[in-house]
Structure 1
Amino acid sequence: MLLLTLGANVISPDVPLLSVDDLADQVAEVLDFFGLTRVLCLGVTAGAYILTLFAMKYNERVLGLILVSPVCKAPTWTEWLYNKVLMNLLYFYGMCGVLKECLLQRYFSKELRYGMHGAESEVIQACLRLLDERQSPNVMRFLQAINRRHDLTDDLKKLQCKTLIFVGESSPFHAESVHMSDKIGRKNCTLVEVKACGSLVTEEHPLAMLVPIEFFLMGFGFQRQLHFASSSSNGSNPSSPSSHSCIAPELLSPEGLGIKLKPIKTRADIEI
């Protein structure tokens, strides 16, 4: 979290390793610093795990969760060994090419990684630049914390906040995201699966997130009021409910909702 921030100093090897609970507590410290009482949280993969844990420990401070390809279980042996390999690469070689390729496989779908005619997309190039800007020792410490995470499954039903989950169908965390949605329950959670997409839905198909998030925010009363001037020629009434919409009409079409023009499908209706 803070140790991954752009421009952060390299953490001394003498500083004790942080646990996932420590990272969740750091979120509370950041909120205190900025004087924030209750917040909506958005996190991706391991960051989504940390924010879910934060919501469990500080339920009174979390209004809602937007999670992208989240994890909630302890790492499998396969993931644990894979992370160990990544940590060894970081320790001996830093942010090398092999490590970047391993991370890209976690982040993005095959279609985006190879792109048209094998050319790298702008999203991939931007991600590679961001990886180069991170301090390798700090990334390694974060991986160590995530590799020691504990299973949150039993406590998911205790989450008191509304949760919106996005997951790419090509994400290695797809099954775990579906599991997490099932355990939270349809009353408090909506799952949106995005086709032809990896873990970072925010980067690969951000437009697929637009309508679900807007409906999600409407459930909390966050709604843009669009004011229209009255017109006797068209008979419009500026005070009518239809004159105040937070979603453009074209986004409410089947194509805008992803019914005809995929890539999204939802497992549950979002309550408004």
Structure 2
Amino acid sequence: MLLYRLLTIWQIRLGSVMCFGVTAGAYILTLFASKYRERVLGLILVSPLCKGPTWTEWLYSKVISNLLYYYGMCGLVKECLLQRYFSKEVQGFSELPESDIVQACRSLLDQRQSMNVWRFVQTMNQRYDLTEQLKLLQCRTLIFVGENSQFHAEAVHMTSKLDRRYCALVEVQACGSLVTEEQPHAMLIPMEYFFMGYGMYRPSQLDCSPRSPLSPFCISPDLLSPESMGVKLKPIKTRVRLEV
């Protein structure tokens, strides 16, 4: 579906686009941005994949594929998928029930056709390394990853290969791969600073005018600390043209 949408963008000849992708979607968008550099303004990636699967991941995915093929969307497959994408904090344990997000995802898996999920797992288990393609990226890139994500190492690797002037890594504490579901509030301030580099957010010059509650000029410095935000924020370096 994502590839179809990207091809649609190409066919109807839209201008440059801002892309947002999570895990496998981030992998596809990174590949797209490396091939069509003039069409992508920026990338916002959540727990991106950029390398081929490790032996551990390959074997784990192979087990899931076989279970899906022979038994369909059984309880064991659901548990394996939930453990891959969510942190233990929201999965729950004996003394703490699982969160509403995990319960909703579990119900959503029941609605998916097992063979479609099987094809997805198979495809991602055959992905190739994008390290060389990362050197071709020319757009600004903002990367989010949970510190407990199974893809944390790939996000760090990807950041190390990109131009540090135009790339930022936000590590969200006590979070798994799906930062968008577990801690979406931790993404707000980094994204606002990211968009400022494109002139999409312009603070008002008048002291009496209303401002966004997310504006850096309205936020107490204490709230910008990593402890308050729940993130480990590495500097976002962008070029911002200031009008005098």
TM-score above 0.5: yes
State the match for 2:86 in structure 1. 108
- Percent identity between the two aligned chains: 58
Letter in 2 for 1:266: L
State the match for 2:150 in structure 1. 172
2:206 to 237, 240, 243: 240
Letter in 2 for 1:128: R
How do 1:24-173 residues align onto structure 2 when only pairs under 5 Å count? 24=3, 26-32=4-10, 36-114=14-92, 117-173=95-151
Looking at structure 1, the residues matched to 23 and 155 of structure 2 have their Cα atoms a distance apart, in angstroms, of: 9
Conservation of the 8 A alpha-carbon contact between 2:203 and 2:215:
no
Shift of 1:263: 1.1
Shift of 1:157: 2.0
Letter in 2 for 1:123: I
State the match for 1:197 in structure 2. 175
Q: 1:34 to 1:122 in 2, by over 3 A?
A: farther
SS at match of 2:90: helix
Shift of 1:259: 3.1
State the match for 1:211 in structure 2. 189
Shift of 1:129: 1.8
1:254 aligns with 2:221: yes
Conservation of the 8 A alpha-carbon contact between 1:71 and 1:176:
yes
SS at match of 2:221: coil
Scaled by the length of structure 1, the TM-score of the pair is 0.80
Shift of 1:112: 1.0
Conservation of the 8 A alpha-carbon contact between 1:115 and 1:121:
no
Looking at structure 2, the residues matched to 163 and 144 of structure 1 have their Cα atoms a distance apart, in angstroms, of: 28
SS at match of 1:95: coil
Letter in 1 for 2:174: A
RMSD: 2.3
Which sits farther off after the overlay, 159-168 or 88-97? 88-97
Looking at structure 2, the residues matched to 209 and 170 of structure 1 have their Cα atoms a distance apart, in angstroms, of: 16
Scaled by the length of structure 2, the TM-score of the pair is 0.88
Q: Which has the larger radius of gyration?
A: 1
Looking at structure 2, the residues matched to 197 and 34 of structure 1 have their Cα atoms a distance apart, in angstroms, of: 38
Conservation of the 8 A alpha-carbon contact between 1:211 and 1:251:
no
CA displacement 1:230-250 (0-9 Å, x = unmatched): xxxxxxxxx537847443468
Stretches of structure 2 lacking an aligned partner (at least 5 in a row): none
Looking at structure 2, the residues matched to 101 and 206 of structure 1 have their Cα atoms a distance apart, in angstroms, of: 23
1:265 aligns with 2:194: no
Letter in 1 for 2:119: R
Q: 1:124 to 1:258 in 2, by over 3 A?
A: farther
Stretches of structure 1 lacking an aligned partner (at least 5 in a row): 3-22, 227-238
Letter in 1 for 2:226: I
Looking at structure 2, the residues matched to 241 and 142 of structure 1 have their Cα atoms a distance apart, in angstroms, of: 52
Looking at structure 2, the residues matched to 270 and 36 of structure 1 have their Cα atoms a distance apart, in angstroms, of: 28
Conservation of the 8 A alpha-carbon contact between 1:44 and 1:69:
yes
Letter in 2 for 1:130: L
SS at match of 1:215: helix
